[in-house]
């Protein structure tokens, strides 16, 4: 089982954060432009954990090189049942450097977009605070 799956299933956001590459690119199923960076990606994942209920991975597929992974999940967003897949690619150090999420059906994707829109201010604040802490530690 992939360490990311284990961390998500344990609701261990520190472990999730540690598994992300500093320059990870996160492609959302409901946003046009990808997000780049560990801070914003970790904040998005925390936001998703507040939006999804009854979340569970139902299948995992790993590529022959063990650097590509597809984690298929089911969850609920409000009253909508959602099916999706997290596509992960890991770098040479085993950290996730590319993270793409796809979901279906359209009605659930729309519900997800609305729910995540309501989380956006908190996500942006969490990401900004992490970046400020990082900059303060370096300076």
Half-sphere exposure of 53 (CA within 13 A, CB side): 8
Question: Does residue 70 sit in helix, strand or coil?
Answer: strand
Band the pLDDT of 137: cuts 50, 70, 90: confident
Give every CB contact of residue 132 below 8 A, 6+ residues apart in sequence: none
| Number of domains present in the structure of the chain | 1
CB–CB of 83/74 below 8 Å?
yes
Give the whole-angstrom CA distance, residue 139 versus residue 137: 6
Other beta carbons within 10 Å of 16: 21
pLDDT at 51: 96
- Residue range 75-104: mean pLDDT, rounded: 97
Kindly provide the b/e burial profile for residues 49-66, where b requires at least 16 CB atoms within 10 angstroms of the residue's own CB: eebbeebebeeeeeeeee
pLDDT at 1: 67
pTM, entire model: 0.93
- Structure-block tokens of residue 56: 């569970």
Q: What is the CATH number of the domain that holds 13?
A: 3.10.450.50
Give the whole-angstrom CA distance, residue 125 versus residue 80: 27
pLDDT at 135: 83
pLDDT at 78: 93
Domain of 57 in residue numbering reads as: 3-138
Q: What is the pLDDT of residues 4-33, one digit of tens each?
A: 999 999 999 999 999 999 999 999 998 889
Q: In this structure, what DSSP letter does residue 105 have?
A: -
pLDDT at 32: 86
Considering the chain, what is the average pLDDT of its residues? 94
- Structure-block tokens of residue 9: 């299933």
């Amino acid at each position: 089982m992939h360490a990311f799956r284990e961390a998500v299933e344990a609701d261990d956001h520190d472990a999730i954060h540690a598994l992300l590459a500093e320059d990870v690119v996160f492609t959302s199923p409901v946003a046009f432009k990808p997000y780049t960076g560990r801070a914003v990606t970790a904040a998005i994942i925390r936001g998703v954990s507040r939006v999804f209920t009854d979340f569970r991975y139902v299948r995992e597929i790993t590529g022959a090189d063990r650097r590509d992974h597809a984690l298929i999940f089911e969850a609920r967003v409000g009253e909508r049942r959602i099916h999706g897949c997290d596509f992960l690619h890991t770098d040479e150090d085993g950290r996730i450097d590319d993270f793409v999420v796809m979901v279906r059906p359209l009605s659930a994707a729309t519900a997800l977009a609305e729910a995540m829109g309501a989380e956006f201010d908190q996500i942006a604040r969490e990401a900004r605070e992490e970046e400020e802490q990082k900059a303060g530690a370096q300076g």
